[in-house]
Amino acid sequence: MMSCDNFRIAVIVTTYNRPDALAAVLEGLLAQTDCNFEVLVADDGSTADTAEVVQQFQTRATFPVHHIWQDDDGFRAAAIRNRALVSTKADYIIFTDGDCIPLTDFVARHRQLSESGCFLSGNRLLLSQKFTAQILHKKIPVHLWCFSAWLKARVQGKINRLLPLLRLPDVAWLRKRSPQRWQGAKTCNLSAFREDLLHVNGLDESYTGWGQEDSDLVVRLIRAGLSNKSARFAAPVLHLWHKENDRSHLEENRRRLQHVLSATHIRAFKGLDQYHNLESAIDCSTKASTQ
């Protein structure tokens, strides 16, 4: 197992046409106590407003920032995450979303909890519609808030719960109580060693539209021998409110996942292997270079 001090981390932030939310997430990453990482903004076809946010952030960031973009052809989160995966040489990958603000120790806690033979699954705290609008309009740095401020926000109905903000000791048996559990693990707060993600061929792009592609990944990681190690009560994210995604493909994706659950394969049917020549091509389409 690598020492927590000597492996490289990449934070992959998935986004689509929500530059104000992305800006808030990037501010959270700029305030991290552990700054030894790179950021890859995995852009599922946003307009130029998002590129401008990334470019402005580059001028301030103390770590490498890249903008990986693909054409807007419907919801293709699995594809853009795969493109980001093949464009980094980092040893460890943290997945999150462009509407999930990290607290200041988010990267540090994922690093500390990382363990060979495991992937980490964290949780989120949901912010109300009105509170989200206030944060984005006034640029409120909620990633810096203390617990008492969050307690007040809970009383005022601005957040759905306080529990994710509580911290539990890093006791191995406690964090590994459900090593085979795939339910509830989401790519808004998930991390794994890159070699394990490569072993299962990344995310499966056979899923079209919103839903289930992250569950598919987790099922295959577990089938490949990895354990689900909980990062709950350690590294939560603040999920900004948004309208419900188009779920027209959800039933089809659920059927696909049910098939995966009854199968035995560990590698994505349509995954990273299709990009074996993509790394040089990504250099041409990357919207930002290493700082």
pLDDT at position 247, please? 63
pLDDT at position 193, please? 98
pLDDT at position 287, please? 43
pLDDT above 90 as % of the chain? 73
Instruction: Read off the pLDDT band of 48 (50, 70, 90).
Output: very high
pLDDT at position 1, please? 40
Between 10-24, 138-152, 211-225, 266-280, the lowest mean confidence (pLDDT) is in 266-280
For tokens 């499966």, the residue is 204
Domains defined along the chain, listed by start: 9-285 (3.90.550.10)
Instruction: Read off the pLDDT band of 249 (50, 70, 90).
Output: low
pLDDT at position 284, please? 41
Alpha-carbon distance 101 to 37, whole Å?
16
pLDDT at position 264, please? 85
Whether the CB-CB separation of 240 and 127 falls below 8 Å is answered with: yes
Whether the CB-CB separation of 117 and 107 falls below 8 Å is answered with: no
pLDDT at position 208, please? 78
Alpha-carbon distance 10 to 1, whole Å?
18
Whether the CB-CB separation of 13 and 42 falls below 8 Å is answered with: yes
Strand partners, 93: 10, 192
* Span 248-271, average pLDDT: 82
* Span 233-257, average pLDDT: 82
Whether the CB-CB separation of 159 and 127 falls below 8 Å is answered with: yes
Q: Degrees (nearest 5) of the Cα angle 223, 38, 171?
A: 50
Cα-to-chain-centroid distance, residue 58: 20
pLDDT at position 134, please? 97
**Interhelix angle 278-285/77-86, nearest 10 degrees:** 100
Burial call 233-242: b when 16+ CB within 10 Å, e when fewer: bbbbbbbbbe
Alpha-carbon distance 202 to 224, whole Å?
12
Q: Structure tokens of 218?
A: 């987790």
pLDDT digits (tens, 9 = 90+) for 96-126: 999 999 999 999 999 999 999 999 999 999 9
* Span 49-63, average pLDDT: 96
**Interhelix angle 106-113/19-30, nearest 10 degrees:** 60
pLDDT digits (tens, 9 = 90+) for 162-190: 999 998 888 878 899 999 888 888 899 99
pLDDT digits (tens, 9 = 90+) for 4-31: 457 999 999 999 999 999 999 999 999 9
Q: pTM for the complete prediction?
A: 0.91
pLDDT at position 15, please? 97
Say whether pLDDT at 285 is over 80: no
